Chains A and B, each alone.
Chain A
């Protein structure tokens, strides 16, 4: 019996143990479906943060402003009052809300400047929404401003003249360094889906630790160790099934959200390779924890600290773009940051598998180190006295 067969046998036994529980099977299927829907709706091509508009004026100029916001591609949600708008923003139903006060029409026609209150959520994309709303308001009220400057006719006539006036204006040509991708279609959050997926994969991989502890406590590992299988073989076997499940879930989430909702993951080969490398890292980390921790409770506590802590430091909660240079260096002690760099390469620079080889190398090194340490710890745990 070669090591490979032994590894396979252990993996198979684990998978059988995992799936004998029907409820697990149910969740292995349900979990990806929920995540696909959530990712798809949040990060897919169709998602627009909802912008509440409370039109207390109701005049034609206000209607024109609301129409312009809709035409600019915003998801405009009409709300009854400023109070309702505020409540919607506070409750998180709206990313931002613009209030058009009563008297808007009269102020414009009477050339009296006025301010529109805007409420934004404390969320990254609300910042962009606020900027976009400002730009739209400026654009729509520009003819009225020109009318305010000219003042040699009726308001309506001047606005009509302004709208017909030729204005070559200034074109803003945006480009990014290194590639010819226009910044136009890009937001700071194009890696949001990948960072969330990495966070969840690592979190669920950490559960592998409890399984290994259970095998140890049942005495299964000890009996395996009595057979001519090395501790490395046992560990690989224990990990293989779980890595397989994590990887399968990750792939289902990726493919599903891409096909159904147009979530972007970059070059498929590169994305799958990164996912595989990261699943191995997660599996290795889970096994190391399972070999090092004494009880399931300990493993759960440490696993959480690691899964959430590494995700936070590694830029899976707040984009690495927000980090200072020092913090960014610190972030690259985590596998998450490397995986995210890889995805950023695929997404932002249209990279291919060849472009993410450095990141894949680092991730593979992490996985190897975790497995080696885990095997060493497991050997110590199994050969030590009871």
Chain B
């Protein structure tokens, strides 16, 4: 035990000296949290798109479009509206990005609708503002189906006015359920995904340094000392674990004020981070035992870390692909870590995410065991 602690202290001292400890445990996670807050903070609160409206008709239906389809959204702050004199001006506004999209209502539009002739609303979107353009089209489509309904309703009844038909409420509306549930927000999901992705790189710091020591010849001296070989491997593993927990804690804690992230009960999150770090340490150590030099170990480890990240749904929502990939994602610690954080999210979340934490611990136990069994290959002069 004393040997393990001595070895750990020696390694940590070395890492403090070459500043990599400081970098890995503090600078990089905090830097990432800061960058993410800059980029992702606004993702959950989308800026309202601006639409230009060129009404060249001024008839009843065109007015209804502006007053009933657009104004209520503007009042709710979902969109911003600006008037344009004609098609040319509207198009120019979109080209300049003064507007994300523009509506052009041609002359004679209302007359065409009321007399049952085909009518057209033009939506001009900016190719760079895909989301804004999409919203603009959805609004126009919704209005078009409303017009269609009024025409059908009047045809079925054979009498009545447009207003009377429009006053009938929609028989079925779709309502979004409150978002207070076991699901991370976009920014939280990104931060959590990157935290676990990053974790797999930080823990390499421990075990792989056996290869560095072997190259530098210090491992041979260690082996000449009365220290059991297993102690060397365990000390290195523990170092990776300590740094991994520290870095993940920094990232998650920093993300709270920077991103406004809410992670759930500290106890549950703490256990999850510890279990996740154990899993990451084990997986990366196991990969390192395959390699013969530090460079190859780093190569292999980063490829495994990226592959697991992809399969675990850090970059792409992989669970939705179902089938093989849905099953594959379950053999990655990343998936369980993210699942655990999601389970701890929300008002009525449990204090501890039992299943994900246990799954990660199982990962850690199996992979660390294999790594220690194979470590004899590495811990030699």
B116 pairs with A168, CB closer than 8 A: yes
- In whole Å, how far is B67's beta carbon from the nearest beta carbon of chain A? 16
Considering residues A42, A297, A300, A321, which has the most beta carbons from chain B within 10 angstroms of its beta carbon? A297
Task: Name the residue on B nearest A142 (C-beta).
Answer: B149
Known: A24-B296, A118-B176, A168-B116. A90 touches B320 (CB 8 A): no
Interface residues of B in 84-133 (CB under 8 A from A): 91, 94-95, 113, 116-133
CB-CB under 8 A from A138, the residues of chain B are 142, 145, 170
Of A232-240, A266-274, A304-312, A373-381, the segment with at least 4 beta carbons within 8 Å of chain B is A304-312
Task: Name the residue on A nearest B315 (C-beta).
Answer: A196
- B227 contacts A by Cβ under 8 Å: no
B170 pairs with A141, CB closer than 8 A: yes
Of B15-23, B75-83, B359-367, B369-377, the segment with at least 4 beta carbons within 8 Å of chain A is B15-23
Which listed residue (B156, B194, B291) contacts A149, Cβ 8 A? Answer: B156
- B56 contacts A by Cβ under 8 Å: no
Known: A23-B291, A31-B307, A148-B171. A312 touches B156 (CB 8 A): no
CB-CB under 8 A from A162, the residues of chain B are 152-153, 155-156
CB-CB under 8 A from A38, the residues of chain B are 310-311, 316, 318, 321, 325
Which listed residue (A174, A199, A318) contacts B315, Cβ 8 A? Answer: A199
Known: A86-B181, A91-B339, A123-B186. A172 touches B172 (CB 8 A): no
Give B160-174 as 1s and 0s: 1 = Cβ < 8 Å from A's Cβ atoms. 100011001111111
B294 pairs with A309, CB closer than 8 A: no
Give B201-232 as 1s and 0s: 1 = Cβ < 8 Å from A's Cβ atoms. 11011000100100100000000000000000
- A60 contacts B by Cβ under 8 Å: no
State the CA gap A163–B280 with chains docked (Å): 60
- In whole Å, how far is B86's beta carbon from the nearest beta carbon of chain A? 16
- B63 contacts A by Cβ under 8 Å: no
Which listed residue (B19, B147, B319) contacts A92, Cβ 8 A? Answer: B319
CB-CB under 8 A from B138, the residues of chain A are 131, 135
- B241 contacts A by Cβ under 8 Å: no
Known: A177-B124, A297-B205. A117 touches B177 (CB 8 A): yes
CB-CB under 8 A from A176, the residues of chain B are 124-127, 133
B322 pairs with A93, CB closer than 8 A: yes
B300 pairs with A27, CB closer than 8 A: yes
A298 pairs with B174, CB closer than 8 A: no
B174 pairs with A145, CB closer than 8 A: no
Task: Name the residue on A nearest B158 (C-beta).
Answer: A150
How many A residues, CB 8 Å from partner? 125
State the CA gap A310–B367 with chains docked (Å): 32
CB-CB under 8 A from B164, the residues of chain A are 149
Of A178-186, A221-229, A275-283, A356-364, the segment with at least 4 beta carbons within 8 Å of chain B is A178-186
Which listed residue (B140, B185, B189) contacts A172, Cβ 8 A? Answer: B140
How many B residues, CB 8 Å from partner? 122
Task: Name the residue on A nearest B302 (C-beta).
Answer: A207
Task: Name the residue on B nearest A171 (C-beta).
Answer: B120
- A301 contacts B by Cβ under 8 Å: yes
A168 pairs with B119, CB closer than 8 A: yes
Task: Name the residue on A nearest B123 (C-beta).
Answer: A174
B172 pairs with A165, CB closer than 8 A: no
Q: List A residues at the B interface (Cβ < 8 Å).
A: 18, 21, 23-24, 27, 30-31, 34-35, 37-39, 41-42, 47, 49-50, 86, 89-95, 98, 104, 107-108, 111, 113-124, 128, 130-131, 133-135, 137-139, 141-150, 152, 158, 161-162, 165-179, 181, 183, 186-190, 196, 199-200, 203-204, 207, 210-211, 214, 217-218, 294-298, 300-302, 304-305, 308-309, 312-313, 317-324, 327, 330, 344, 348-349
24 CB < 8 A contacts A-B: A24-B296, A92-B320, A95-B320, A113-B172, A139-B145, A142-B148, A144-B171, A167-B148, A167-B152, A172-B121, A172-B137, A174-B125, A178-B95, A179-B127, A189-B130, A297-B15, A297-B209, A301-B20, A301-B202, A304-B198, A312-B190, A327-B38, A344-B128, A349-B127
Given known contacts A119-B181, A169-B148, A300-B201, what 8 new A-B pairs fall within 8 Å (CB)?
Answer: A23-B296, A116-B172, A142-B145, A149-B160, A176-B127, A183-B125, A296-B212, A327-B42
Nearest first, the 7 closest Cβ-Cβ pairs linking A and B are A188-B130, A169-B148, A297-B20, A165-B155, A150-B157, A92-B319, A170-B144
